[in-house]
Amino acid sequence: MSKNTNKTMYVCTECGYDSPKWYGQCPACKQWNTMEEIKVTHSASSGATVSALDLTAQPIDQISITDEHRYLTGMKELDRVLGGGIVQGSLILLGGDPGIGKSTLLLQICEFLGKKLKVLYVSGEESAHQIKLRANRLNVYTENLFIMTQKDILAISDYVAHMKPDIVMIDSIQTMVANTAQSSAGSVSQIRECTNILMNCAKNNNIPIFIVGHVNKDGDLAGPKILEHMVDAVLYFEGDKQLAYRILRAAKNRFGSTNEIGVFEMGDTGLREVENPSLMLISGRPKGVSGTCIACVMEGTRPIFAEVQGLAAPTNFGNPRRMATGFDYNRMNMLIAVLEMKAGYFFGNMDTYVNVIGGLKLDEPAADISVALALVSSLKDQVVPDDVITFGEVGLVGEVRSVVCCEQRVSEAARLGFARCIIPKNNLKNISAKLKNKIEIIAVDNVRDAFEALLN
Ligand code: TYD
Ligand code: MG
């Protein structure tokens, strides 16, 4: 016997923690005033709905798999981030700041998808007229693209079952409403409900659905974690709106690796793929000045070069300012402490800034040595030569520790015409003799070795 009851629940809008009780501070993420009331229809049953006698579990070797089917998007960068194309029946969340280019990306791939597939693009944000104008600008003229402006998610889901498109795009989840949830569009309960409906829609019709989601000021998707574990893949579109390039990153992917990134450039006719991001990121870098250095980080299987800038300027008043953009603030402080205690460079009365050019975030420890070099170069006003690539993790005693994929990084540096490479000494064994002929390798044991080699 089962009966339906209406229950009140409280859900944290920041982390998705839910509880039957209201809290001023979320017990999970410790944010204040984030618990929001939602009504859930709860099916209170006295026991299991299926008898245990009806259940079976299958031995894994007897489960047959047909080859998972993927659609290519015509954009190699996007396909790679997706793990080799769009998997049928999957729910893919595309997140990013408003105006970063999410709608542009989705509309743009419609031209290629439309060659073979029927695409339904549902917008709750723009009128059909606006979408048509944008499509023209993006050279999307396929007759297989169908535009619908609608916010009622249940109606959309019914329409999808009836129209049977091959792929659906929902722009954006924040504008969708389900009348089963009693709150305004964009609230946690609405987003949760709408995503649930879309998930069923994707699985029942075995079609992929893209969901656009805007992120809030902290860089999380509104109602973030709830969405993340409901969907199959979460892609984030990052980058500075002022700058032309955008990075697409997978935060979760049930059908591929989360290490891959895709790089795009926003132009007059939409997004263009950037096949050689390193060249773009370091182009236009100033030559012969102090306080800049080129780092090499791995983004998935690709080495990417990025310009790291450091500035040390005398503090005028009070405590020195410390600021890091594109690099972890605490890690910068740690590096400064290492430089002070282990290498004898003092930043105590210096405002210190670190900036990674191009809106890139360097979260791999291999960038440590580049940050250290940029800072010391600025402090001593001595130039790091601009034909050098640097990478290596810096430890607390000033040692330079080995990193993964050393050979790949060095060969990329050689390929792009750099003359020298600072690498951790322990990585020297990874470098083939052939490669050593192409580029000069400077193996360092300690940060001081790097300073001696480059700054004097
Ligand atoms: P959009 O895709 O609307 O962003 P989102 O859906 O993530 O909110 O991107 C809009 C921005 O991109 C807008 O600022 C204008 C710019 N843009 C171009 O520079 N070139 C183009 O061809 C298009 C379509 C947009
Ligand atoms: Mg948009």
CATH code for the domain of 287: 3.30.230.10
Other CB atoms within 10 Å distance of the CB of residue 372: 28
249 inside domain:
yes
Same structural domain, 438 and 365 = yes
Contact 290, 386 (CB under 8 A): no
- What DSSP element (H or E) covers 435? helix 433-438
Q: Which residue has the higher pLDDT, 16 or 296?
A: 296
Q: How far apart are CA 178 and CA 39, in angstroms?
A: 13
Give the residue from 275, 299, 323 where a domain finishes: 275
Other CB atoms within 10 Å distance of the CB of residue 130: 14
* Residue of 97, 104, 169 with the most ligand 1 atoms within 8 Å of its CB, for mutation: 104
Give 266 Cα–ligand 2 centroid separation in angstroms.
Answer: 14
Ligand found nearest the CA of 125:
2
Give 99 Cα–ligand 1 centroid separation in angstroms.
Answer: 6
The one-letter code for the residue type at 122 is V
Query: DSSP secondary structure string, 42-61?
Result: EEEESS-SS-GGG-----GG
Average pLDDT on 75-100 reads 91
How many domains is the chain built from? Answer: 3
Identify any residues that bridge with 145 across adjacent strands, giving them in sequence order: 119
* Structure confidence at residue 441 (pLDDT): 95
Give 452 Cα–ligand 2 centroid separation in angstroms.
Answer: 51
Give 106 Cα–ligand 2 centroid separation in angstroms.
Answer: 9
Give 360 Cα–ligand 1 centroid separation in angstroms.
Answer: 20
Give the residue from 275, 294, 319 where a domain finishes: 275
Residue 2: pLDDT band with limits 50, 70, 90: very low
C-beta 99 within 6 A of ligand 1: yes
* Structure confidence at residue 67 (pLDDT): 62
Same structural domain, 266 and 288 = no
Same structural domain, 181 and 206 = yes
* Structure confidence at residue 53 (pLDDT): 76
349-351-357 Cα angle (round to 5): 150
Same structural domain, 117 and 19 = no
Task: Kindly report, residue by residue over 239-288, the tens digit of the pLDDT.
Answer: 776 677 788 988 889 988 877 788 898 888 899 998 888 887 788 889 89
Same structural domain, 324 and 445 = yes
CATH label of the domain that carries residue 86: 3.40.50.300
Same structural domain, 293 and 238 = no
Same structural domain, 240 and 364 = no
Kindly report the protein residue whose alpha carbon is nearest to atom 25 of ligand 1. Answer: 270
Query: DSSP secondary structure string, 288-336?
Result: S-SSEEEEEEEETTEEEEEEEEEEEEE--SSSPPEEEESB-HHHHHHHH
Rounded mean pLDDT of the chain?
Answer: 88
pTM here? 0.74
pLDDT of 217 over the 70 cut:
no
Same structural domain, 167 and 305 = no
18 inside domain:
yes
* Structure confidence at residue 225 (pLDDT): 63
Kindly report the protein residue whose alpha carbon is nearest to atom 12 of ligand 1. Answer: 101
Same structural domain, 79 and 218 = yes
Same structural domain, 253 and 292 = no
C-beta 96 within 6 A of ligand 1: yes
Same structural domain, 157 and 188 = yes
Residue 231: pLDDT band with limits 50, 70, 90: very high
108 inside domain:
yes
Same structural domain, 40 and 138 = no
Contact 296, 423 (CB under 8 A): no
Ligand found nearest the CA of 171:
2
Average pLDDT on 79-89 reads 91
Question: Which domain range does residue 364 map to?
Answer: 280-454
Task: Kindly report, residue by residue over 168-178, the tens digit of the pLDDT.
Answer: 999 989 899 98
Contact 233, 255 (CB under 8 A): yes
Percent of the chain with pLDDT over 70: 93
